[in-house]
Amino acid sequence: MYFYFIYIDRYIDKCQYHLITFFIFIFMDFNTIIGLIILFFSIFIITFLTIISISRINKISKFNPSNAREIKRKIHERSK
């Protein structure tokens, strides 16, 4: 039991040490704070846009088959 408590005690010490290092790391440098905000915000935006975009795929249909010839004509005109 004694050794068990020692183990827990050391573990808590180690955790605190980790947390303190982590927070010191963040609050020491202004550039770091801005950098981290940009980092997480960008990753969030990329993920969000990907998920939203994929969920929109195939839900949109503006197509009117009768217009196919008209599109062809336009493309031909541009190519000449």
Partner 1 sequence: MKDQNNKITSELSRELNLFHITMMGLGMMIGAGIFIGVGNSISYAGPGGVVLTFTLNGLLAIFTAMSYAELSSAIPKAGGAYNFARIGFGKGTSFIAGWMEWFASSLAGSLYAVTFSEYVVRFFDDLNLLNWYKVNFMALEKLTNKFLYNLGILKYYISSPELVEIYNIDELILFEKIVAILIAVIFLYINFRGASETGKIGALFTFGQILFLVIIGLVGIIVTVIDPERLNNFKPFMPNGWIKLLATMGLTYVAFEGYEVIAQAGDETINPKKNLPKAILLSVLIVTLIYVSVAFTTVVSVKMGKQGVNIPVWQWISQYKQEGFGEAISKLMPYKNLGNIIVTLAVICASTSALNATIYSATRSSYALGRDRMLPKSFSKISRKNKTPYIALLSTGIIIICVALLPTHHVAASASFMFLCLFFLVNICVIKIRRDMGDELHYGFLIPLFPLFPILAIILQPLLIFELREVSKISWIIAPSWLIIGFIVYFIYSKKRIIPSEDEIHILEEEKATSGDSNYHIMVSVSNPKNVYNLVTNTYKICKAKNAKVELLHMVPVPIQVTLHDAEKYILEGKEGIVEAMLYLAPLFPLSTTIRYCRNIARGIVNAIKEKKIDMLIMGWHGKSKKYWYSLGSTIDPVIERSPCNVVIMKDCANKKFKNILVPISGGPNSIFALEIANIILDKKEGKITALTVNNENHQFDLKKFIEKQKERLNLSSKTLKSNTIISNDTVNSILEEANNYDIIILGSTYKNFIFQMTGNTIPEKIAKKYEKPLIMVKSVRKKLRDFLNTK
User: Which residues contact partner 1 by CB under 8 A?
Assistant: 18, 21-22, 25, 28-29, 31-32, 35, 38-39, 42-43, 45-47, 49-50, 52-54, 56-58, 60-65, 67-68, 70-72, 74-76, 78-80
Residue 7 or 48: which CB sits closer to partner 1?
48
Residue type, 77: E
Residue 1 or 80: which CB sits closer to partner 1?
80
Q: Are 26 and 33 in contact (CB under 8 A)?
A: yes
What's the Cα-to-Cα distance from 47 to each of 33, 50, 51, 56, 76, rounded to whole Å? Answer: 21, 5, 6, 14, 39
